[in-house]
Chain A
């Protein structure tokens, strides 16, 4: 495992492929985050909202994406993390978390990050600014 400090522009962070999304993931996240919007856990409620099935909490996916930096978390901290939610995640989707260094300003490393589905569709796109300890 290389450290973030040694990355060059356009280098990628080691991607993470998640297990297929299952209902229990979303039930656990609902409990841990206190977000009980039923479109994330109950089929009938999702269908009532015009969806083909339950969808993952955007924040579950965004929370997972932050793990790209976990193995480096003793090198510094996430100073800024911003995303747009650009697609829906359904049960059994296989998500890949990806990040690439796009800029650096002294101790601040700026990464483009995204979450892609099995068909390549991006469901989250954004940026992480990681502040290295001096």
Chain B
């Protein structure tokens, strides 16, 4: 049962916020502000680094929750949040890990829906949180039945 995974965490994975990855991501969401895409402009700003779009952390590696495998298709992304303790910039080294925050089921017309909440954490090298982001995934009855949990 998915309930059993609540509170489980992945091991930390070191991620480096790379300029190329950020530029590609920024362009893919249509970003045109020079703080995100023009290194010279950003270097001369008060932050003195290229900024990272708020939603970029979805691309980082958070490791895997032992024993938990979800299908790559058929999942519905219901909700998403990002919470920052400071802005993320190019060059940051981030220790990332993921936690199963919650799981619940509710009855809908289409059957029983599962709602799985993950929290993704990013810490700096001193162990201070930079961000904590939440994602709610909806598992339809069909998807839930395919899982062996």
Which residues of A are interface residues toward B (Cβ below 8 A)? 18, 25, 28-29, 31-35, 37-39, 45, 49, 58-60, 62-64, 66-67, 70-71, 73-74, 77-85, 133
Q: Say which residue of A28, A63, A77, A84 sits within 8 Å of B78 (CB atoms).
A: A84
6 shortest interchain CB distances as A-B pairs: A63-B29, A82-B81, A32-B28, A70-B33, A77-B87, A63-B55
User: With A70-B32, A73-B33, A78-B54 given, is the CB distance from A32 to B59 under 8 Å?
Assistant: yes
A58 and B138 alpha carbons, distance in the complex (Å): 13
> In the assembled complex, which residues on chain A have CB atoms less than 8 Å from the CB atom of B134?
82
CA distance A32 to B23 in the complex (A): 9
Residues of B within 8 A of A38 (CB): 73
Cβ of B95 to closest chain A Cβ, rounded Å: 19
Contact A32 B80, beta carbon cutoff 8 Å: no
A64 to B35, CA, bound (A): 16
Q: Between A and B, how many residue pairs show CB distances below 8 Å?
A: 101
Contact A82 B82 (CB under 8 A): yes
Partner of B84, one of A25, A70, A80: A80
Given contacts A29-B29, A34-B59, contact A81 B79 (CB under 8 A): no
Interface-lining segment among B45-53, B98-106, B116-124: B45-53
B97 within 8 A of A: no
Residues of A within 8 A of B31 (CB): 67, 70
Query: Could you tell me the distance between the alpha carbons of A45 and B51 in the complex, rounded to whole angstroms?
Result: 35
Would you call B59 and A83 a contact (CB within 8 A)? no
Q: Which of B29, B51, B76, B81 contacts A81 (CB 8 A)?
A: B81
Residues of chain A within 8 A of B32, CB atoms compared: 70
CB distance from A25 to the nearest CB of B (A): 8
A82 contacts B25, C-beta separation under 8 Å:
no
- Report yes or no: B30 in contact with A31, Cβ–Cβ below 8 A: no
Known pairs A67-B30, A70-B32, A74-B45; A33 contacts B59 (CB<8 A) = yes
